[in-house]
Copies of this chain bind each other. A is one copy, B any other.
């Protein structure tokens, strides 16, 4: 098993991942973009509780890490859309495992 022995090399890659995904919002934003491109307001509505300021900041970091692509369309007024990149989509297994663990955690701690 990977985590047997707590190999420092493995810790480095987990650290890289955690730094790129830091906070409670990034994965939720990526999750909301899975079905397709969305505008800022649509993401904001789907990711309950996030403020516009935080969403704007998080989208910039996600773009910097090549997880999200921001596209501006030459309409009047201009339209901005966000899409998840292939690299962002590669987080699917992480999200899947977090989903299963989140369910188990709810049963364990919240007794639901």
In the complex the two chains form, is A18's CB within 8 Å of B11's CB?
no
Instruction: Choose among B5, B10, B33, B90 the residue that contacts A104 (Cβ–Cβ < 8 A).
Output: B90
Interface positions of A from 1 to 16, Cβ below 8 Å from B: 1-6, 8, 10-16
Q: Which residues of B contact A83 (CB under 8 A)?
A: none
Q: Which residues of B contact A22 (CB under 8 A)?
A: 23-24
Chain B residue contacts of A103, Cβ below 8 A: 13, 16
Judge if A79 is at the interface, Cβ distance under 8 Å: no
- The size bracket of the interface on A is 35 or more
Provide the bound-state CA to CA distance between A22 and B23, in Å.
6
User: A32 CA to B4 CA in the complex, in Å?
Assistant: 10
Residue of chain B at shortest CB distance from A1:
B92
Our pick among B10, B17, B95, B108 for the contact of A87 (Cβ within 8 Å) is B108
A-B contact pairs, 22 of them (CB 8 A): A1-B96, A3-B31, A3-B34, A3-B92, A6-B32, A6-B34, A6-B46, A11-B32, A14-B28, A14-B98, A14-B99, A14-B102, A16-B102, A16-B106, A16-B110, A17-B98, A17-B101, A18-B98, A22-B23, A87-B108, A90-B104, A93-B100
